[in-house]
Amino acid sequence: MGKISEFFGNPGYRTDVHQKVPISSTRTVDGLQKISDNDPGHLVEVETSYSSSSVVVGELEVEENGDISTSIGFTGLEKNRTDIILDWLVELAGSQIMFVIMMAILVGWIIAGIITSGSYDWQVVMDDGQSIQSYVWDTLLMRQQLMSAHEHMCICAELGSRVTVFKKLLTRIIDQSEEKNTKAVDHMPEIYEVTADLEDSSWYDKLASTVSRVLGSWYSIVIYWCGIIAWVGCGALTIDAGNTPPYTGRTSGSNPEMAKFGNLWQMYINTATAVILYLTTVFLQNIRARHDIFVAKYIREIFAMDLKIDSLLRKHSNDYTTEADVVTVEAQKRSRGEIWIDWYGDIIGTGVGVLIGILVFTAWIVVGHPMGWSDNWWLIIGTYTGLVGFFDGFVIRQNYFRIVKSEKENYENVIADDFELFSILGIPCPEHLAEVPLDENRSVTYRVSVYINRICSSQLSVLASIIFIIALICIASALKWNETGQLLANTPTMIIEGFFLLILLQAHNWADTTRRGEISLLYNRRNFLFAYLQNRFGEKSQEVKT
C-alpha cells in the first residue's frame, strides 16, 4: 500500500473513513427533466466543493460487474499499481476459470496416484504443492478480507451521508406542509421479498454453494476429528514381519519409515489434510468472491434508488442546494496485541508478503542442486509454508472475527438511520423489513460452533500458535531438520490448520448469509420508502422492480 517506507512507518494502521455524497440533479432529456425507474443512468450527481471540510473525503465507485473501488486503501494510503494487481489476483482466484483449473489439477494428481500406487514421492508432491497453494491463497484471502472490510466502511459512510440529506429535506417538507398523512393507510406500497441466497445460476455456482455448506458444517468438523483419531489409532499398531497394517499396505521389513508412528504414517495424514486444505481454500475463495459480487450489485441498486429518492424530495421541495454532511465511520478500537496482529495481516495482504514469498521460493530452488534434489529438499518448502500457513490461519481467523463485529456495528447504524426516516414520516417500518429472519440462532450446534469460533478467534489463540511453532522448531532443530524432524513440524500444524479452515469456512457462511440478508433488506426498505414517498407527495405511482 503506497511506499514501503510509509507502510512500515505506521504498522497495522487503520484509517477512519470520511464520505460525502454530492448534490444530485437530473439530466435534461428532450428538453424535459426525467426521473426513470428503469434507468438510473438518467440521474447524475453534481460535484461539490469539500473545501470547508477538514478531512480528506474518499471516493467510492461501484461498477456494473460488481467491482467496488475506493480511492484510499485500508491502511490509509493511496492505492498504487501493486494494489491493483493484487486485487485482480483476488478476483481471479475466486473465478470459475481458476476453480476449473484447481479441480483439474486435483483430478490429475489422483490419477497419477493410481498409476504410481500412491508412492511416497506422489504424496510429497501434494504436500508441497498444497502448502505453496495455501501460502498464496492465504495472501489473497487476507487481502480480500481487509479490502472488503474497508469497502463496507465506505459504503456505510456513503449511505449515512445520503440519509443526512433525506432527513433535512423531509423535516423541512413536513414542517412547512399542513398536509395530513392520509394516503399512507390506503396506499401502502408492496413489501418485497428479502433474500440472502447467492444466485446459483450455473452448475458451477450450485456445486460451490453445496460443497461450501457441507465443508463448513458442524458434521464435517466432527467427521474430520474422527478421522484424526482413527489415524492416531493406526499409528499405534505394532508392525510384525509379514503383517500388512491398514495404514501402509505393505510389509515393514527393516524400513524405518514403516515403524510404529513412522514417517510414512505421518505422510498419510499430511496428504489427507493437504487435500482438505486444498479444497477448503479453493471453495472459501470462491464463495467469498461470489458474496462480494452479490453485495456490490445490491449496493449499486441501493445507491441508484437513493438518487431517485433524493431527486423526488428535491423536486417536491424545489430545493437543489442543500448539501449532505460528511459522515465518518471510525476505525475499530484495538488493543496493542490486535495492532500487531493487523501489522502482520498487512504483511500477508500486501505486496510485501508477495515479495517475501518470491525470495523464499527463489532461495529454495537455489539450494536444490547442492542438496541433490533429495526428499529432505522437497520437504523444506512444505515445512516453511506449513509453519507460516499455520500462523496465517490464526491471524486470518482473529482478523475476520473483528471484521464481522465491526461491520455489524456499522450496519446497525445504517439500520438506525432508516428507522429515523420512518419516524420522521410518522409511519412504522413494516415488520418484514425490520430485521433479517435467521433460524440458526435456535440451533444447539449453532451455539456450540459460535462458542468454538470465539475461542479460536481470540488473541490468546494467536499467542498460543506462536508458542506452538517455537516448540516445533526446537524439536526439528534437535533432530537436525532431517526428514522426521520436518514431518513432525508439518503434521500437527496441518491438522490444526485444516480444522481452522473448516471453522473459518463455517464462520464465513454464517456471517455472509447475515450480511446478504441485511443488504437485501436495506434495498427493499429503499424500494418501500420510494414508493411510499411517491404516494405521499402525489407523484404518479410507478412499479418498482427488484
pLDDT digits 0-9 by tens, 280-326: 888 777 777 778 888 888 888 899 899 999 988 888 888 888 888 88
Inside any domain, residue 92: yes
Inside any domain, residue 368: yes
Please report which confidence band the pLDDT of residue 446 belongs to, taking 50, 70 and 90 as the band edges. low
Kindly compute the dihedral angle of the four CA atoms of residues 92, 94, 100, 103, in this order, to the nearest 10 degrees. Answer: 120
Per cent of the chain over pLDDT 90 is: 5
Separation of first and last alpha carbons in the chain:
38
Inside any domain, residue 392: yes
pLDDT at 214: 83
Structural domain span for residue 332 = 4-179+205-536
| Distance, CA of 123 to chain centre | 31
Backbone angles phi, psi at 489, to 5 degrees: -75, -25
Inside any domain, residue 184: no
CA atoms of 346 and 339, how far apart (whole Å): 10
Please report which confidence band the pLDDT of residue 48 belongs to, taking 50, 70 and 90 as the band edges. very low
Q: What distances in angstroms separate CA 363 from CA 218, 347, 359, 369, 469, one per listed residue?
A: 41, 20, 6, 11, 22
pLDDT at 14: 77
pLDDT at 200: 59
- By C-alpha distance, which of 296, 276, 156 is closest to 223? 276
pLDDT at 124: 75
- Domain total in the chain: 1
Instruction: Give the least confident one: 127-141, 213-227, 329-343.
Output: 127-141
Is the pLDDT at 105 greater than 70? The verdict is yes
Instruction: Give the least confident one: 140-154, 380-394, 423-437.
Output: 423-437
- Say which residues have a Cβ less than 8 Å from residue 207's Cβ, sequence separation at least 6: none
Please report which confidence band the pLDDT of residue 471 belongs to, taking 50, 70 and 90 as the band edges. very high
CA atoms of 503 and 451, how far apart (whole Å): 11
Q: How confident is the model over 59-64, as a mean pLDDT?
A: 78
Inside any domain, residue 287: yes
Instruction: Give the least confident one: 40-44, 258-262, 474-478.
Output: 40-44
Q: Taken in order 427, 433, 436, 437, is the CA torsion positive or negative? A: positive
Q: Identify whether the C-beta of residue 459 lies closer than 8 Å to the C-beta of residue 398.
A: yes
Task: Pick the more confident residue, 82 or 359.
Answer: 359
Inside any domain, residue 76: yes
pLDDT at 466: 92
CA atoms of 7 and 121, how far apart (whole Å): 41
- Phi/psi class of residue 479: alpha, beta or left (left: φ > 0; alpha: ψ in -120 to 50)? alpha
pLDDT digits (tens, 9 = 90+) for 221-265: 889 999 999 888 887 764 443 444 444 434 344 444 555 677 778
Please report which confidence band the pLDDT of residue 212 belongs to, taking 50, 70 and 90 as the band edges. confident
Inside any domain, residue 543: no
Residue-wise over 60-73: b if at least 16 C-beta within 10 A, else e?
Answer: bebeeebebebebb
pLDDT at 226: 92
CA atoms of 535 and 190, how far apart (whole Å): 12
Within 116-217, residue ranges assigned H as helices are 120-176, 183-186, 203-215
pLDDT at 498: 83
Q: Which DSSP letter does residue 258 get? A: G
pLDDT at 467: 94
pLDDT at 198: 62
- By C-alpha distance, which of 142, 110, 102 is closest to 278? 102
pLDDT at 533: 87
pLDDT at 432: 77
Inside any domain, residue 503: yes
pTM above 0.75, yes or no: yes
pLDDT at 34: 40
CA atoms of 157 and 330, how far apart (whole Å): 10
Is the pLDDT at 419 greater than 80? The verdict is yes
Is the pLDDT at 25 greater than 50? The verdict is yes
pLDDT at 41: 37
Q: 33: which strand partners?
A: 28
Is the pLDDT at 38 greater than 50? The verdict is no
pLDDT digits (tens, 9 = 90+) for 159-186: 999 999 999 998 888 877 655 454 444 4
Q: How confident is the model over 263-273, as a mean pLDDT?
A: 81
